[in-house]
Amino acid sequence: MSHAPLPGTVFLVGAGPGDPDLLTLRAARLLMKAKVVVHDGLVDPAVLAMAPRGARFVSVAKQRARHTMRQEDINALLVAEALAGHDVVRLKGGDPFIFGRGGEEAEACHAAGVPVQVVPGVSAALGAAASAQIPLTHRENASIVSFVAGQCKGLADQNWAGLAGVGRTLVIYMGVATAAAIAEKLMADGLAPTMPVAVIENASRPQMRVVRGALAGLADLVERERIKSPALIVIGEVTARGDIMELQAVVEAAR
């Protein structure tokens, strides 16, 4: 008499902002013994290379308006692999529960009786800001930080009042393609056109770029510098702290 295998565990693992050195120890340990890896497209190849030879990789890369696999199908894949008795490492850029749909995947697994463990990662916002040496909070400039997604439908109808301004920092994920609409929306809500902004491209990777400007020129900045995803937009006075930028320039010049 045959018995169905015990379900495997789905590990929702944050892969961090890009640099493999920013993986948590637990994430690295799970990856190094993984047999099935379901990963996002933005996970760095060097991170994937940590998996053992013979591991099976499934890419479920998503790009704006182009999905290789619908979220419902990703959920079903995770459940099917686990019910077949396989432990699954589900690698997500940044942290699984910050704009990563990790909550949806956890709910789908729980509903199917599949055990889930969540391994937090360095979020894209925190990793990008640290790599660019932009303090998201600062005693003199900001005591409030907000994270928003910039590619949501109905962007103009969302209430962002109070998310950005004096004493506040706003970090926008997936906002490159909608930079013009974001700037217009924030200025219409009363944010000063001169509010400093920074755009961080390929955070924590060797090809990282940081470009700075003012809110009114955000769309032109993105177009002129040919910014491509992955990139985050940071809006707030912390992006223009000259003391940090000047000290960094002095250190770089002394090398």
Q: Hey, which residues are catalytic here?
A: 40, 62
Angle at 206 between CA 236 and CA 56, to 5 degrees: 110
57 beta partners: 37
Tokens of residue 122, six digits: 């360095």
112 beta partners: none
Sheet (strand 36-39) strand order: 56-59, 36-39, 88-92, 10-14, 116-119
Place of tokens 């340990």: 29
Which residue, among 127, 108, 136, 97, has the nearest Cα to 13 in the 3D structure? 97
- Rounded Cα distance between 116 and 82, Å, is 10
